[in-house]
Structure 1
Amino acid sequence: MLKRLLQQKFQAYLARSQPAQPSVCLTQKRIYILPSRLGLWFALLVLILYLLGTNYQNNLILLSSFMLLSLLLLTMLLAFYNLYRLELSMVADAETFADQPAALPLRLNSANCQMLQLGLQGQRLQQLVPVISGQLAFALQLPQLSRGCYELPRLKLSSQFPFGLFNCWSYPALSAQLWVYPAALAPTGQQNLDEDPDNQGQTQPLEGSEWLKPYQAGDQPRRILWKKLATNPQQPIVRQQQDGNTVNEQWVKVPNASGAALELALQHACYRLQQLEGAGSRYGLLLPGKTLALGQGAQHLQRCLQELALC
């Protein structure tokens, strides 16, 4: 009970004094250092040698104790300066798909840092970085998570360099997010981009050179099909003249569902978005209560996938 209370107090102190930032530089206020178990035994050895030397008035034993004490103090300084001025910055948010491991791209910068262990606070799994001399690109491995958007937990950087006599560590916090998109799953029987078993949410051909599509801001009111509006008031349908780009405009719709049905629909939508992006089509996303306009490109695909993650 006392240990949990102390941990909560310490976490509150870290949140207040060291808030999350895009880039963190380790200074003396962020670095903690304590003797390791080996360091405690080493200090006990120094004390025993000193007592023996004073008791027997043996200058050689006293000299040995003073030399070992100097080595202990020097090791403490080296352990501290091994992490001092280490810069840690995020490159981009982490992105992955459900039930797949993710990696957060980071940038480490230090004049000379050795044997650095880096991981998440509270987890035993740590990644070792043998040497950092200048800038170094690093991918921090993250655990598998379900669909959604998560704030990056506080990190833990630690090292026992050079002799393992001192534990030196820090708990920096980066303002990064982990986006977990739905796993892409091809709908049963759908093998190409032109097939849609539900025939909903996409541009549909009409007689002549006109097409039907869901209404979006900017469409002319005179093109609205008012008869169809009576049967589906939540999603107006408009006519659109066929041109060179209309054929390649596609809409991906996510139905208003919940539970396993929603997850399956999101997986199908994720697969279809990737297929449309790969085919070079312009596509939009229809969500319950929200519409993403037509577009294409990596940024548009990322925005659509993020909306699926938050759905």
Structure 2
Amino acid sequence: MSARVLRWARKRQGLDPHTTTLTSRRIYILPTAIGLIFALTAFAMLLGSMNYNNNLSFVLTFMLVALGFVAMHQCQRNLVGLDVSFAGVEPVHATRPLEFRIAVHNRSKNRRYNVQVYDGRIVSDIRDIPAGESRVFRLEYPTRQRGRMAVPRFGIRSNFPFEMFRAWSWVHMDLEALVWPAQASDVPPPPAALTATGHRQHDARGEEDFAGLRGYSDGDSPRHVAWKAYARSGELLSKQFAGADTSSQWFDFDTLDSTDTERRLSILTRWVVDAELLQRDYGLRLPGHEFPPAHGDAQRQACLRALALFDEKRGS
């Protein structure tokens, strides 16, 4: 039944953009256990009032019923008009939690109370959203294996006021994140580095032979930023060196002894992470794909992405 309801909601609403405004027609509401007890109590009071024909009892009963209707209306209006948007997700290694960030913006002049983002048993914290402000909710998903992880939908809900009703809306954004292979804990030593002398310019080693300045690029070490030049001109530049010894390593999938594909990918992942921490050039060879030696965030991201999508790369 739950699966059918979710398929019906997806067909009714369609695919949502990465910024979606909640309208009244897409917000659902049902009484909670507290609301059902409240309704039964009010019905019992109504029967007692009719039995004894007590006017004060009628007044109290109708006041409680009116309070219930006001609470139902307010609960539904607490979500109407909220802007829900995807605020990003960072790749992680397998076995670490993957955190999807969902931003909710309140454009109205009224504060919104007890708002929560959820996906089944995965829930965010419950927060209030002041008028004109935004709050970022986090959904943490456990990861067990590398590859793509999809979140086809999530919900946003509230039980304000009195927790007698629960209003919610489903959002279908088809979010996706990347899970890198887990880092192997016991790895063989990486292959020996290959050294070349004075054959190219390099910005990470050979500091004894300054060759000039070049534009700053992502991944450059802060130690090589020309801070004095930045203070004078306000432009970020990196120091460049030439004629120095440079070394690089090749990490090759086919040369590993293990017959387990996932074990090989975990070893390569560990080597990539360690080489990046040491600021060493490294290249990666996978069946059908090769990354020339380099270092920096772009190199790390490209290599880890290829390792995470290893089966897809081979299939292509």
Whether TM-score is above 0.5 comes out as yes
CA shift in 2, pair 1:31/1:258, >3 Å: farther
CA shift in 2, pair 1:148/1:115, >3 Å: same
- Out of 10, 19, 22, the residue aligned to residue 5 of structure 2 is 10
Residue 91 of structure 2 aligns to a residue whose secondary structure is: strand
Q: After superposition, where does 1:244-259 map in structure 2 within 5 Å?
A: 244=243, 247-255=246-254
Aligned partner of 1:285: which letter? Answer: L
Equivalenced residues, count: 263
Aligned partner of 2:59: which letter? Answer: L
CA shift in 2, pair 1:210/1:104, >3 Å: same
1:62 is the counterpart of 2:62: no
- Give, in whole Å, the separation in 1 of the partners of 2:258 and 2:195: 33
Using the TM superposition, give the Cα deviation of residue 259 of structure 1 relative to its aligned residue in structure 2, in angstroms.
8.7
CA shift in 2, pair 1:295/1:68, >3 Å: same
Aligned equivalent of 1:76: 72
Aligned equivalent of 2:237: none
- Give, in whole Å, the separation in 1 of the partners of 2:95 and 2:309: 16
Q: Which moved more, 1:94-103 or 1:163-172?
A: 94-103
Specify every segment of 5 or more residues in structure 1 that has no aligned partner in the other structure, as ranges.
Answer: 212-242
Judge conservation of contact 2:181–2:266 (CA < 8 Å) in 1.
yes
Q: Which moved more, 1:91-100 or 1:64-73?
A: 91-100
Residue 99 of structure 1 aligns to a residue whose secondary structure is: coil
1:85 is the counterpart of 2:81: yes
Judge conservation of contact 1:24–1:174 (CA < 8 Å) in 2.
no
Residue 104 of structure 1 aligns to a residue whose secondary structure is: strand
1:175 is the counterpart of 2:174: yes
CA shift in 2, pair 1:253/1:189, >3 Å: closer
Aligned equivalent of 2:146: 147
Specify every segment of 5 or more residues in structure 2 that has no aligned partner in the other structure, as ranges.
Answer: 201-241, 311-316
Aligned equivalent of 1:109: 105
Aligned equivalent of 1:220: none
Aligned equivalent of 1:214: none
Aligned equivalent of 1:51: 47
Residue 255 of structure 1 aligns to a residue whose secondary structure is: helix
Judge conservation of contact 1:186–1:272 (CA < 8 Å) in 2.
no
Using the TM superposition, give the Cα deviation of residue 142 of structure 1 relative to its aligned residue in structure 2, in angstroms.
0.9
Using the TM superposition, give the Cα deviation of residue 132 of structure 1 relative to its aligned residue in structure 2, in angstroms.
2.2
Aligned equivalent of 2:124: 127
TM-score under structure 2 length normalisation: 0.72
- Give, in whole Å, the separation in 2 of the partners of 1:245 and 1:310: 36
Structure 1 vs Structure 2 CA RMSD: 3.0
Aligned partner of 1:99: which letter? Answer: T
Using the TM superposition, give the Cα deviation of residue 295 of structure 1 relative to its aligned residue in structure 2, in angstroms.
4.4
Using the TM superposition, give the Cα deviation of residue 77 of structure 1 relative to its aligned residue in structure 2, in angstroms.
1.4
Q: After superposition, where does 1:182-261 map in structure 2 within 5 Å?
A: 182-185=181-184, 188=187, 190=189, 196=191, 204=194, 244=243, 247-255=246-254, 261=260
CA shift in 2, pair 1:53/1:303, >3 Å: same
Residue 73 of structure 1 aligns to a residue whose secondary structure is: helix
The sequence identity of aligned pairs, in percent, is 26
Aligned partner of 1:130: which letter? Answer: R
TM-score under structure 1 length normalisation: 0.73
- Give, in whole Å, the separation in 1 of the partners of 2:290 and 2:16: 32
